Chain A
């Protein structure tokens, strides 16, 4: 009996030693896929199933079909959250990203001593490793109407303007409550009052309070974005610039015909990051404004949280989640499609 067991185990050992090279990669990748099935696939399927029902919390539910999805299109709060997110995304792409590129170029330029570059990058990276909660706490003190750092600074600027004879300039705001439009120019008014689709909706989202949150995001994310741009700039072959300089290309021409086209993959990556970041914007409005005043800072993720975990309307929260997934998925696939010729392009994410 003992001899048989020994024979079997020695047979097993030899099977293992013969086959371990084929088997072991599956063991190495198994943890990821097991976790993915349990905490990825299952919730996604269950999420869709739940989104077909109506009912509160874990209580009784009634089948609702696509009712939750139809309601997305009728819900004014969802529309508000959607356009706020769109405004935020556009601002991130067209304001934050170019500013980050300028910052990267400035830090890379010959005017900055190499040993200072590390210092600048270090400081601008600091907010990236600070949690959104701490940043919200910081900016509660920055945006405070009476004692806030920003308003006290702006009061000084106002006094300086008054000192040189420019009176009546108002720079201070109640940053976390002011719903006045940033782009409230008279010639844009008809777009807002006539409810012109898309453009009117986006202008209406551009309140001072939402823009204040966006300013906070510039402070928060300009460091990491300029680091992405730096990575893109570093990957450009230096000889191209020398060749172009010999051909008599000016600084602007060199930027426009060499740097910018070669930054294209990084541009796409940064745009996708901006979209993902805007859709994930939660802690700052949650803690600073609670989505208010009057939903002026309501974002999709915050609305999902409120519907799911304050109201307990799980079905509708999942429908909101799916609507976010569809948009981000479409944009990510667009990204992959644009990257299709460059095999194995890095698509890193830093959260």
Chain B
């Protein structure tokens, strides 16, 4: 990996006289100081939310700011679940929807990506371009009729409404195709000679090789599904069907006076996806910065 590309300091012919080490130390200190200030600016709102979930309301609205609760309390959490006895369902719903939608989406993307990468068939190029073109259609132009369609299908207030319509996107298929291109043809042909069916080729031979690509896609899919808001807001109106984002949004207005409850719900909603991200961040960030963009 090429690092330090753009602003690498070299004793260029003209600048050879400069007292470089001192300048370099200054630059190191300044750049890292600025970056650490930005790190603080990024993290402080989170810290305020997470600690405020354990504060009394009187400590949330204060000047100067109370950073750490003096008497940490779980009252906000317990209040949340007594006021909304089915609050636990918001988290279960979100987890179910995120997991199922991710698994389905990744599976369908791998199938289609494998087909586009490793098979020749009639209209392949036309279908591939059509598939890519679908990503140009903005969601907003379809949202009202899609909503009506969901009502017709009697999918309103069901998991199906948030899982099926946007299960697999063009980007996911494109991404998997790029990975599937790396599966050697010789390997597939060898498996065919050994009597493997086409399905076994995919399931036993290709899928293990596609795993790194699948992982990146799965993390993106999971965070995307967990964080989805607009569409679930429209089609899940029953409090027992709410996803966590819809629930938190619903708490924003009427529960402003009990802010601790709101922040508790938000804290519980933000943590699972951050844990998943922290767990897989290395694959995700290297996957995004090197693999797919390079050499395509």
Contact = CB atoms under 8 A, between A and B. Distances in A.
A32 interface: yes
A25 B48 contact: no
B138 A325 contact: yes
Given A36-B134, A137-B262, A324 B141 contact: yes
Interface stretch (A2-10, A44-52, A68-76, A181-189): A44-52
Question: Could you tell me the dominant secondary structure of chain B's interface residues?
Answer: helix
Contacts of B41: 219
A251 B7 contact: yes
Interface in B111-131: 111-112, 114-116, 119, 121, 124, 127, 131
A127 B227 CA distance: 11
A66 interface: no
A294 interface: no
A286 B119 CA distance: 46
Interface in A36-63: 36, 38-40, 42-44, 46-47, 50, 58
Nearest to A124: B42
Contact of B3 (A114, A134, A146, A266): A114
Interface string A20-41: 1110111011011101101110
Given A141-B45, A304-B143, A233 B6 contact: yes
A348 B273 CA distance: 21
A231 B284 CA distance: 13
A305 B220 CA distance: 26
Contacts of A127: 42
Interface in B189-212: 197-199, 202
Interface residues of A, number: 117
Nearest to A342: B296
A70 to B, nearest CB: 18
A280 B62 CA distance: 34
B42 to A, nearest CB: 5
B144 A47 contact: yes
A304 B102 CA distance: 28
Given A24-B198, A238-B2, A134 B270 contact: yes
Given A129-B227, A133-B249, A230-B289, A31 B14 contact: no
Given A126-B277, A231-B289, A132 B45 contact: no
Interface in A118-135: 118, 120-127, 129-134
Contact of A35 (B46, B168, B289): B168
A195 B139 CA distance: 33
Among B142, B164, B282, which residue has the most Cβ atoms of chain A within 10 A?
B142
Nearest to B281: A122
Contact of B48 (A141, A234, A235, A300): A141
Contacts of A20: 197-198
A166 interface: no
A252 to B, nearest CB: 10
Given A118-B282, A129-B273, A350-B220, A110 B44 contact: no
Contacts of B165: 35, 39
Interface string B155-177: 00000000011111001011100
B9 A40 contact: no
Contacts of B38: 103, 124
Contact of B1 (A234, A276, A321, A332): A234
Given A231-B289, A346-B292, A350-B288, A24 B119 contact: yes
A138 B9 CA distance: 40
Contacts of B137: 40, 44, 325, 329
Contacts of B144: 47, 50, 308, 314, 317-318, 321
A133 B8 CA distance: 40
Chain A CB count within 10 A is highest, among B111, B178, B274, B294, for: B111
B92 interface: no
A324 B142 contact: no
B248 to A, nearest CB: 5
Contacts of B44: 149
A194 interface: no
Of A42, A43, A350, the most chain B CB neighbours within 10 A belong to A43
B10 to A, nearest CB: 5
28 contacts: A26-B115, A28-B202, A33-B131, A39-B165, A43-B143, A106-B34, A108-B7, A109-B31, A122-B281, A125-B285, A131-B227, A133-B248, A133-B269, A138-B266, A141-B48, A149-B48, A219-B45, A235-B294, A241-B5, A250-B14, A282-B229, A287-B249, A300-B140, A321-B140, A321-B141, A325-B138, A329-B138, A349-B171
Across the A-B interface, the 8 shortest Cβ-Cβ residue pairs:
A131-B227, A28-B115, A43-B142, A43-B145, A25-B119, A25-B115, A321-B141, A46-B145
Interface of B: 1-10, 12-15, 24, 27-28, 31-32, 34-35, 38-39, 41-46, 48-49, 52, 60-65, 108, 111-112, 114-116, 119, 121, 124, 127, 131-132, 134-149, 164-168, 171, 173-175, 178, 197-199, 202, 220, 223-224, 226-230, 234, 245, 248-249, 252, 262-263, 266, 269-270, 273-274, 277-278, 281-282, 285, 288-290, 292-294, 296
